[in-house]
Structure 1
Amino acid sequence: MDEPLQSTKRRLDTSLETPSLPATKRARLSKTNLQQPAPKRPRASFLEDHVGRTDTISEWLESIGSDREKRCRSDSYLHHSSDDPISRDLTRSAPETAYARDAEGYAVPPTSGPSNGSIAPSDAGSSRSSRALVEDPYYRDQNLAANHVHMRHRDEQLPEHVANVVDYARRNRESPGPSLDEIYHDRALGELEMRGLDEPRVEDYFRDRVFPQPSYGNSLERSDRQPMSRHAVPNAGSRFKISNPIPDMLYGYSRHHAFPDQQTQLISMGNEMNGTANNQSLMYPFFVIEFKGNGGDLWVATNQCLGGSASCINIAERLNRQLRESKSSKVKPVDSTAFSIAMNGTEARLYVSWKHNDLDYYTQKVKSFLLQDPEHYIEFRKHVKNIIDWGKDQRLKEISESLDTLLEESRRLTLRSSEISPSTD
């Protein structure tokens, strides 16, 4: 079968020759062409040796980009530019900033000043690579610290009022839950570890099993992947901004079902001062949850928790500021403590956050849980349920009473003003 093909090829080659040219001229042209030097290839020789490797690296970088978009869907700032991506390995080697300490042992960061050339400014208008702001290796030491948001070591002593709330979260529950045997034989839970499932699958498993969605008419409310209002995010005026939080889950209160008798007061305060956290009218949030897929970076999820928790505290502290300014004898400040969780399919880290003074927000780890261990799983579930109970009972009562105090003070001032105003005929 090869001979017919070769004959056909010879006939095609022959048909392409120009028959009008003399044989001697064709010979001269052929001789001239053979003497021409071969053109140089534009590709550098060292690139020629590494084409395969370069293609492999390009495919790897593209895969990282697509994975990052899945991992960081709960962060708002995705900046694109021609900058080379900075390796996440830098987050492991970024130096820990040594801060001075005050009399109570709290870190006192230096006043934020101009950044040196090695640290990219991380506000929304800066030239950025295609990475989420919270992935920046200097995000904690620059963006969070510049806005007085800090992480403390887990072994430091908690303030008394914070320790009391943490003790509430640790208490035993009377309501029945899953048994150790049920958790051990839960194949869906085991799949989270065995198959390395992505963030949506992790979230789907724990939704409702551990994090309940309140029913309609409940005073408690949960928002999923809703941006928090920008005015809620702490801002000390630095060019290094905190990324606008978009928690995977956020617990707070329903405006109309939690505060049916305080609507007049809430309206008079305006959205920036009345505890509104997002455009879903979730009020006075206290619990942030951030999910990652297996292989997702819990360091990044913790950064998201720091910003989200500080925003929750900032909202509650505005209410406390109004209470102090009212000068009512019934003033009782609201506990602005907030909780957050950074987790994937195998591990969960529970944090507590609070306001230390007029400026500083602190976060500290309460406990880590190995979710594939039945005992740890049940402990984790217990802490979550207790935190939600604290939020809808004790904390909600404090906020309702505080709003009532402000309403009474407003009516008293209005009445007094009308009494001293001169009458007009």
Structure 2
Amino acid sequence: MINAGVKMLMEPTSSPLSSSRKQTLEKAHRPPSVAGPNLCPPQSAVLPLTWDNLRRFDMASLSGLASSKNSGSSTPRSPRSAIAERRQLSTNLIHVHVGRGIPSSIPAGIRELIKRMKDIGRPTPDLTKADKKEIRARVVSIAARYEDNATDALLDLVFAEPCRIDRGAYPPHLGRNRDCKFIRGCVPTRDALGNAKIQAALDRVGAPKTPKPDIAFGYSSSAFSIAQALVNTAHDRIAHISQGILHPFIVLEGKSGATGGTQIEVQNRAARSAAALVHSQRTLHASAHGGDFGSPADTACFSCTTDSTTAYVWIHWCQEEEGEPHYRMKPLLRLFLDNCKAVWKLRQVVDNIFEWGLGERLERVKAVLDRIPEERAEAGGSRKRKR
């Protein structure tokens, strides 16, 4: 038996079909629906490239471009959001200085530390073709990888032989973290001190996000004595600001060219991370010295930021200005990654930072940890005498 709907189609008609008859026939011969993605009907003309037209398509990858709330690693952030974050940091007295030279306003101890880290002590060698090929391969690797896989390439770029870190070339008490989030609330925020305008500005920009540096270097537990380990445990939020390592002294931040990363983004991330490190050391120093935060050089730290074309090495410190702590960062080295000799110098400067961090800086941290029990004993004795 012939289907009724098909039979009607086969019958000749001389009168035009009514609208209701057309709908009936179209419904009868509509193909069955198939489970799958919602596809738009084919268009006979090219549609204007507008958000209204793009929303007609089920493209999840484009939704991140329309909203800054999507912060996935594969979606590039807009320059506007990075500039807004820079403004947020500045409002909270975390400043990024990108100018050249060493202004006289920088503390003398920080100026001296900059000179020491930049002093390579030996001339730049004549790089062989193999050396240049290796450096260029590292740079291309960072530019081509997505964010989640760029960390290893960043490590390979900064260190001529990354494997030496794991093979004992550095002291065994070096600790390293990768993509590990800092303790929540570790980034210093500004105190409005009852000023309504400052409070309104702080409320408007919000608090900085918790840092999660690509790589952080600090110390392992083997670097400290049993007594020092007990003090570290008592000050866990300071010592273990980055879980798994103790008292970090340098962070590495990188962005892949494949995701549209920029220097301003990695600089913002380094500013947050390093400000948290400086703040933690100031707090530790104050616990050991009756509220004295120490000199800016006593609590300084470093960072390295890279994108697909440039690299910076930064020094971070805090100095009191008009009764408020200002956290500042200043580049001690900047370079283009296509300059192989400059990359060699970058590696030497970072090597100097490691020598400082595993030598002078580690001894200073140990001295502070040794001082804290004495400070507590002295404070306890003074309270007893007052009674």
1:170 Cα offset (Å): 0.9
Question: Which residue identity does 1:16 align to in structure 2?
Answer: V
Q: 2: CA distance between counterparts of 1:57 and 1:178? A: 58
1:313 aligns with 2:278: yes
Of structures 1 and 2, the one scoring higher in RCO (CA 8 A, sep 6+) is 2
SS at match of 2:372: helix
SS at match of 2:83: coil
Query: Which of 272, 275, 287 pairs up with 2:239?
Result: 275
1:247 Cα offset (Å): 0.1
Q: 2: CA distance between counterparts of 1:332 and 1:152? A: 20
1:228 aligns with 2:182: yes
Is the contact made by 2:311 and 2:335 (CA closer than 8 Å) also made in structure 1?
Answer: yes
Q: 2: CA distance between counterparts of 1:276 and 1:189? A: 32
Instruction: Using the TM superposition, name which of 144-153 and 383-392 deviates more.
Output: 144-153
Q: 2: CA distance between counterparts of 1:236 and 1:355? A: 13
Q: 1: CA distance between counterparts of 2:72 and 2:14? A: 59
Q: 2: CA distance between counterparts of 1:334 and 1:407? A: 23
Matches of residues 14-413 of structure 1 in structure 2 within 5 Å? Answer: 16-17=6-7, 31=15, 33=17, 50-51=46-47, 53=49, 54-55=53-54, 62=61, 65=64, 69-70=72-73, 88-89=78-79, 91=80, 135-141=81-87, 143-155=88-100, 157=103, 158-172=106-120, 179-186=127-134, 188-189=137-138, 191-192=140-141, 196-207=144-155, 210-211=158-159, 212=162, 213=165, 218-236=172-190, 238-239=202-203, 240-268=206-234, 270-272=235-237, 274-280=238-244, 282-294=245-257, 295-325=260-290, 335-357=298-320, 358-412=324-378
Compared CA separation, residues 340 and 259, structure 1 to 2 (3 A) = farther
Q: 2: CA distance between counterparts of 1:63 and 1:182? A: 42
Q: What is the percent sequence identity of the aligned residues?
A: 18
Give the alignment's TM-score, normalised by structure 2.
0.71
1:333 Cα offset (Å): 8.3
Instruction: Using the TM superposition, name which of 48-57 and 178-187 deviates more.
Output: 48-57
CA RMSD of aligned residues (A): 4.2
SS at match of 2:303: strand
Q: 2: CA distance between counterparts of 1:297 and 1:179? A: 29
Is the contact made by 1:288 and 1:308 (CA closer than 8 Å) also made in structure 2?
Answer: yes
1:147 Cα offset (Å): 1.6
Q: 2: CA distance between counterparts of 1:36 and 1:413? A: 94
1:219 Cα offset (Å): 2.5
1:337 Cα offset (Å): 1.2
1:48 Cα offset (Å): 8.0
Give the alignment's TM-score, normalised by structure 1.
0.65
SS at match of 1:360: strand
Is the contact made by 2:296 and 2:319 (CA closer than 8 Å) also made in structure 1?
Answer: no
Q: 1: CA distance between counterparts of 2:381 and 2:20? A: 105
Number of aligned residue pairs: 333
Gaps of 5+ in 2: 24-42, 192-201
Is the contact made by 1:71 and 1:292 (CA closer than 8 Å) also made in structure 2?
Answer: no
1:246 Cα offset (Å): 0.2
Is the contact made by 1:223 and 1:250 (CA closer than 8 Å) also made in structure 2?
Answer: yes
Question: Which residue identity does 1:340 align to in structure 2?
Answer: S
Q: 2: CA distance between counterparts of 1:366 and 1:35? A: 78
SS at match of 1:69: coil
SS at match of 2:218: strand
SS at match of 1:51: coil
User: Greater CA radius of gyration, 1 or 2?
Assistant: 1
More helix, by proportion: 2
Instruction: Using the TM superposition, name which of 356-365 and 259-268 deviates more.
Output: 259-268
Is the contact made by 2:302 and 2:315 (CA closer than 8 Å) also made in structure 1?
Answer: yes
Is the contact made by 2:139 and 2:337 (CA closer than 8 Å) also made in structure 1?
Answer: no
Question: Which residue identity does 2:287 align to in structure 1?
Answer: Q
Compared CA separation, residues 231 and 182, structure 1 to 2 (3 A) = same
